[in-house]
Structure 1
């Protein structure tokens, strides 16, 4: 997670830049980065979001940046991998978002000359940072019991359920929907039951539409009776899944279009809000 002062070089410090109301951090977290971060925050008081991509750096430097973010109630965005000390910065955000292919990597802190256990005991700020983010004791124990020479990458599902990740960026929604479209393009129709199959998906901005084909003609389908179960199934599929639930909270919508064997529309169901996920 870190090297003490005088330890081996961590490499060049991260680059920082401001675009609109976002401050971007890309690279190793050092004390110079903390100083530059504070200066930019002071120069641009309208900044409301910090975007970060980093494999970590110096623990004290990362904790100092996290304290500034927390005090100013800034939002954070993880772009790609955010590991080790970077997680303190991301988790200090008021609203925490994941971008395309984002991940959080956790492991035990490491102080030269000390074991992982000793290093952890000598680094209370690490545990405190995770507790302040609302992470459970079980999650923190798993994170900090991971050897310092390796990395634990919890799934998006786990991070969402822990409250570590609140929302996805619009680019993430678009990317995930495009992957869904490609999946159906390459895997072809998928059978749902003996009368229904899903044949395709298409996306437009934050929306994705799945097309279901029902055996028979539209005039033979009792949509008024079918729509109740269709809505229930769609809500269960989207809203009981942690990732797609957050997609909806982030502005995504899911439409299930039902057509007959001749391509005539039978009806449709759209999920753009999740009310009851029990």
Structure 2
């Protein structure tokens, strides 16, 4: 049996450049990965299968609709005699949460199949399948901090320090499609002009400190935060709880929501903030850890 982790993806910034004529949105986002993850295992066998376990297994829906299943089928169409088997997904990350849980699971499936079949992780077929499976799957395939642009195909690695964080999800799903609809861009419409591109923040290089990164990230934004809050106002309550936490330096929504995060310079402060939020909102999903 082979195993891989599907680490939660966090959009530290998310800028919507515009909507293309084909309907897809061009984005630019600084992406980090958290130390919380789903766990995916693969037992080699003659047929493709998927079972879900864990505290959030029921939220995964039908196996045939799971991105793990989709990624495996797409790869089998491109790799002759691809060895497959039975996947078991231990689901602990919230779904429809803006942290790429399904995408991380699909990326983990591709890494497992690559190991089983002796494929290099830079195999073009893996990356083709990753993008066809979902916009966040390519960045989750590498599962390392980067600047992501286009529709998820352009990845520029970044060197992030380990940043203490608290992640909070109110256990209410928000559909990405609904958020982009609420953003309201027409096909061919740009949200970012030439002056915005020129004035875009430059991300720290080398061994930059947490403080340097927080300063740079604070100059950015998440353009999906406002439309997501119109769909689900509870996101505003989550953000307020994170911003009010002692030691919180930057709080923002990840992806299309509803998960939000706060960055702290001190891990102890992050843990205390998580405990305070959990006591006040026991129905919320709360994780204290690190982003990198």
Q: TM-score of the superposition, structure 1-length normalised?
A: 0.25
Which entry has the higher C-alpha Rg, 1 or 2? Answer: 1
